[in-house]
Amino acid sequence: MDDARDMGLTLNPKYDRDGLITAVVTDVDSGEVLMVAHMNAQALKLTVDTGLAHFWSRSRQSLWKKGETSGHMLQVRDLRIDCDQDAVWVKAVPAGPTCHTGARSCFFRHIGPDGLTPVEPSADAAD
């Protein structure tokens, strides 16, 4: 255990070999998981500095501000890092659907024995 990283109050992200950390985004009000993405050092800094969620696109190999083209930005209300500083939790207010498919959350399907089934919109409210 690296006590300084695990227990200290100095931000010292442990990026993977590609320079990324995982970012989990939830709705600040409902707690619903909206998306999972990755941040590099620049995306994390921009998120902290602007209060808007920024990520690193592994497929495009570029920085992106969530909602820059759609207008569905994520206003950050709380930003946390886990114990070993290799994952970030973004609690945000979504300005619209978070998923590129137009769904509120990227997690809109259940996995079951017969394959995938859609999540009913009211099902998340009961979780």
Residue 114, annotated ligand binder?
no
107 located within any domain: no
Residue 27, annotated ligand binder?
no
pLDDT of the residue at 24: 98
78 located within any domain: yes
Coil, helix or strand at residue 95: coil
CATH number at residue 16: 3.10.20.810
For residue 117, CA distances in Å to 71, 102, 104, 110 come to 29, 17, 16, 5
Domain region containing 79: 3-98
114 located within any domain: no
Mean per-residue pLDDT of the chain: 92
pLDDT of the residue at 8: 80
* Domains held by the chain: number: 1
What is the pTM for the complete model shown?
Answer: 0.88
52 located within any domain: yes
pLDDT under 70: residue ranges of the chain: 1, 122-127
pLDDT of the residue at 2: 73
pLDDT of the residue at 122: 55
113: tokens are 């024995």
Residue 18, annotated ligand binder?
no
Which residue carries 């994952």 as its tokens? 87
Residue 84, annotated ligand binder?
yes
108 located within any domain: no
Beta bridge pairs of residue 26:
33, 91
